[in-house]
Structure 1
C-alpha cells in the first residue's frame, strides 16, 4: 500500500480504536464545491473481524466507514453501520455537549460561535449549522454527531462549506419588512399545490422566497448553487423550422472517475473547474437544438436553455419550458453532452414525475385576487438575515430572506399553512 494511504489507515485505526476490525476496501474520489475548488476524499471501509459483505453486497452491521480530506488531513465522515460499534478505546463523550463541541473544533479546525453554532440537541445527538456573526448562511452547511448508550461515537458528518473571514463582506443589518413592502407584494404568486391526501390541485397564493440585498435592496433569486463544477447562465430559446428524422440513441451515463494517487495528493484541479467559453456555449446550444429537433420535433419555441454546468465527465444543459408555469413543480430537461465532441449523450425529462398529478382533481376556480391575498398575508411575512454566497462576487453578502409559511386558498380566501397542503 502507498505510504500516503497507509498514514491515513494508521491514523484511523488509532483514533477510532479499530483493533477489532480489518481494512476491507479503500477508494478515492473528488468533489468540486460552489467555490469551484477541488477536494479529494479517501474512503476507508473497515469490517468487523470475522465478517464479510452480505449477499446483496451491503456492508455488515458495525462496519466503520471513515472518510478523510486527503489535502487538509481533516476528518469528513465517520459512520458505524446500523449505529453498532465494536471499537475499543475509540472516541467517547463523557462530558456532555461541551465536550462534543470541543471535539468538533479539534477535528474540523472550525471555531464554535464564530463559524458554527448548536442547532439541535437530543440525549444522543447534536446538529450544528454554519454561521457568520451569528447569522445563518446560504447555501447551508451542517455538522452532525451521534453516540450510543455507552457514549461511543457512532456517526459524524460534515456537509457543505463553512465560510472563513476573508470570504465575507461584513455589514450591519438594516433591512425591515416596511422597507421591503414593494418587493413582498410582487412575491405573492398564484400556484397549484398538489395534495396527495386529497388527490387534488389547490390554487393557492403563496410567497416565492427571495433574497433582498441589505445594502441596496437588489433582489437575488432563492436557488441552490450547482455543485459539480463551473456553471454559466444562459438565456436561449430553441426554435427550428424542420425536425430531424430518426430516433435518438441514448448512451449510458457513467459518472465514475478514475482517480490516481498523484492527482489526489497534489490536489490536481478537476476538469470540471475549467471555464465554459463563449464557443463552448455556442456549440452546446447548437447540439441541444439538434437533439430537440430529433427527440422533441414538435416543441420548437417551447424550450429555453437556462444554464450550462460541468458535472464529472459531462457538460450538462438545463432546459425549462418557455411558458408560464402555475404548478409548484416545473417541467425540466437535463441534457448531458460529451464536452470534447459536444455530442448529446443522454437526457433526463421530469415529465414522468409531473404525470402523477394528471389524475388529481383540478381546482374549482379562483375567487381571490392577488391584492386581496397580499393583504391577508402581509402580517405573516418573515424577513430573516442571511449571508448568501454570490457566485459573481465570489463572496458572502448580507441579505434578508423574504418568506412566508402561510398561503391563501384562491378558491375560498382561507389562510392556510402551506405544510398542511402536502
Structure 2
C-alpha cells in the first residue's frame, strides 16, 4: 500500500476516533469544479469491528462510517455514519452550546471563517445547516455545510459542498442596485405559466416572476438555470431540420456514470477529460450525431427541437434539447442526449415527456381573464431584490449581482394573489 494512502487512512482513523472500526474498502473518485479544476477524492468504508459480514441485501451494517477526503488538500468532504449510529468511542463530540462548538470545529477543519465564508441557515432536530457566503452576502451557485449529531452530541453526519473561493476570484463591490432602477426588468420577467397543483389535481394559469441575476452595473443579466446547474455550458442554440427520417431504429446502449480511477491517476492529479473544452470538430460531429438520432427517434419532428447546449460529464458529452414550441406549463419539454465522448455517437437519451403526461390527468386551466399589466400592478410591490455573488463563467470571477424574484404570483383566471409555495 502506498505510504500516502496509509497516511490518509491513519489521519481518518485518528480524526474520527475509529479505533473500534476496520477499513473494509476504499476507492478513488474525481470531479471537475466550476473552475475547471480536477478534484480527486478517496472514499473509505469503515465497518464496526463486530460487523464481520455484509448485510444480506449488500447494504452496509449499521454504524458503518463512510468518509470522503480530498487527497491533495487532506480536507474531509463528508463523514456519514449509517443509520445515524456511531461506535466511535473517542470520535468527534461537541460540547454545549452545540452551535458555537460546531462553528469552531468547522473553522478548524475547513479553514473557513464564520460570517465571512459561511453562515447559519437553519437548525432543526439536532441538524444544523450552513450556507456559503462572501462577507455575509449569499453566493450562487451556493455551497453548503451540514452537521448532524446524536443525543450525546456525537457527530453522525458531516458534508461540505461548494467552492468557497479565494479573494482573487472575487470582484468585491458595494451593492448599488434598487428595485426602482429595475422597473423595466420587473415587468419583463413576469411570465404567464401554468402551475400544476398535485394536491388539487388541477393546473392554474399564473403570472409569476422568472428569477434572474442582474450585475451590479446593470450591464449583464445571468439566467437562473445556468447557475443552478453549476456547470460551464457550451451554448449552441441550433434548430434541427431534415427532409427524410431514418428508418433504422435507434438502439440504446447501457451507460455508466462511474469511473475506475487508479491510484496513479489520483496522485499524479491527471486532468479529467471532463475538464477539456469541447472542440469545434467535436461540436460539429455532435450536431451530426444528434440530427441522425432525431431522424430515428423523432422522425416527424423536423424543426421541433433546439440544441441548447453541450457539456462534459463522466466520459460523455451531454446535449440538452428543448422543444421549439413549448406549452405554458412551468416544466419545459426536454430531451437529454448522451454522446460517447470517444466515438461521438449518441448512445442513450432521457425524454421528460412521460413526466409531463402526468399532467394530462389534471383539470385543465381556467380561461385567462387578467392581462399581464393588471397582474403586474397587483404584485409590483412584492418583488424582492437580494444581493448575491454569482460566478460568471465568462469572466471566471464571482461578481456582485442582484437576484430579482417574487414569492407570489397572480392567478390569471381570477386575479387572486397567491404564494407560489402554496401551489
Cα displacement (A) at 1:125: 2.7
> Following superposition of structure 1 onto structure 2, how do residues 380-391 of structure 1 map, counting pairs within 5 Å?
380-391=382-393
Aligned counterpart for 1:410 among listed residues 409, 412, 415: 412
Q: What is the Cα deviation at residue 98 of structure 1?
A: 1.9
Alpha carbons of structure 1 residues 166 and 324: separation in structure 2 relative to 1, 3 Å: same
Alpha-carbon displacement from aligned partner over 1:362-393 (angstroms, at most 9, x marks no partner): 11200000000000010110000000000101
* Counterparts of 2:388 and 2:228, CA distance in 1: 19
Q: Is the 8 A contact 2:121 2:131 kept in 1?
A: yes
Asked if structure 2 preserves the Cα contact closer than 8 Å seen for 1:230 and 1:274, the reply is no
Name the SS of the counterpart of 2:72 in structure 1.
coil
CA distance in 1 between partners of 2:244 and 2:27 (Å): 49
Q: What secondary structure is seen at the aligned counterpart in 1 of 2:391?
A: strand
Following superposition of structure 1 onto structure 2, how do residues 298-337 of structure 1 map, counting pairs within 5 Å? 298-337=300-339
CA–CA separation in structure 1 for the residues paired with 2:196 and 2:370: 19
Q: Which moved more, 1:263-272 or 1:400-409?
A: 263-272
What does residue 83 of structure 1 align with?
84
Are 2:326 and 2:333, in contact at CA under 8 Å, matched by a contact in 1?
no
Q: CA deviation at 1:212?
A: 1.1
Query: Which residue of the partner structure matches residue 184 of structure 1?
Result: 186
Greater mean alpha carbon deviation, residues 216-225 or residues 276-285: 216-225
Alignment check: 8 A CA contact 2:140 2:227 kept:
no
Instruction: Tell me the equivalent position of 1:20.
Output: 20
Q: Distance in 2 between matches of 1:401 and 1:256?
A: 35
Q: Deviations over 1:104-127 (max 9, x none)?
A: 111111112211112223462321
- Show the counterpart of 1:282: 284
- The CA deviation at 1:224 is 4.0
Contact kept? 1:31, 1:228, Cα under 8 Å: no
Q: Once the 2 structures are TM-superposed, how far is the Cα of residue 216 of structure 1 from its aligned partner?
A: 2.5
Whole-angstrom CA distance in 2 between matches of 1:72 and 1:266: 14
Q: What aligned pairs does 1:86-165 form with structure 2 within 5 A after superposition?
A: 86-96=87-97, 97-122=99-124, 124-165=126-167
> What is residue 375 of structure 1 aligned with on the other side?
377
What number of residue pairs does the alignment pair up? 421
Cα separation, 2, equivalents of 1:233 and 1:121: 39
| 1:132-179 Cα distance to aligned partner (Å, 9 max, x none) | 121000001011112112111111100121122111111110100000
User: Structure 2 length normalisation: TM-score?
Assistant: 0.97
2:3 matched to which residue of 1?
3
Find the counterpart in structure 2 of residue 213 from structure 1.
215
Match for residue 254 of structure 2? 252
Query: Per-residue displacement from partner, 1:50-101 (whole Å, max 9, x unpaired)?
Result: 2132111111111111110011110110111111111011111114222211
* Distance (Å, rounded) in 2 between the aligned partners of 1:113 and 1:229: 26
> Deviations along 1:311-360, whole A, 9 cap, x unmatched?
11111111001114311100111111112221111111111111111111
Cα gap change, 1:321/1:227 in structure 2, threshold over 3 Å: closer, same or farther? closer
For the 8 Å contact 1:33–1:227, the answer to whether it is kept is no
State the Cα deviation string for residues 260-283 of structure 1 (Å, max 9, x = none). 111111211101111111211111
- Matched with 1:291 is 293
CA gap of 1:370–1:229, structure 2 versus 1, over 3 A, is closer
TM-score (norm 1): 0.97
Within 5 Å, which residues of 2 pair with 1:228-243? 231-243=233-245
Paired position in structure 1 for 2:75 = 74
Structure 2 distance, partners of 1:225, 1:400, is: 13
CA distance in 2 between partners of 1:200 and 1:95 (Å): 48
Gaps spanning 5+ residues in structure 2: where? Answer: none
The answer to whether the Cα contact below 8 Å between 1:17 and 1:90 also exists between their aligned partners in 2 is yes
Structure 2 partner of 1:35? 35
Q: 1 CA distance for matches of 2:218 and 2:377?
A: 25
Shift, 1:228, TM fit:
8.8
Inter-partner Cα distance in structure 1 for 2:388 and 2:23: 43
Q: Corresponding residue for 1:196?
A: 198
Q: Which residue of 1 aligns with 2:45?
A: 45
8 A contact 2:383–2:405 mirrored in 1: yes
Distance 1:228-1:183 versus aligned 2 partners, 3 A rule: closer
Query: Is 1:271 paired with 2:277?
Result: no
Matches of 1:227 and 1:122 in 2, distance apart?
27
Change (3 A) 1:371 1:217: farther
After TM superposition, give the deviation of residue 231 of structure 1 in Å: 3.1
Tell me how far 1:398 sits from its aligned partner: 0.7
User: In 2, Cα distance between the equivalents of 1:376 and 1:229?
Assistant: 36
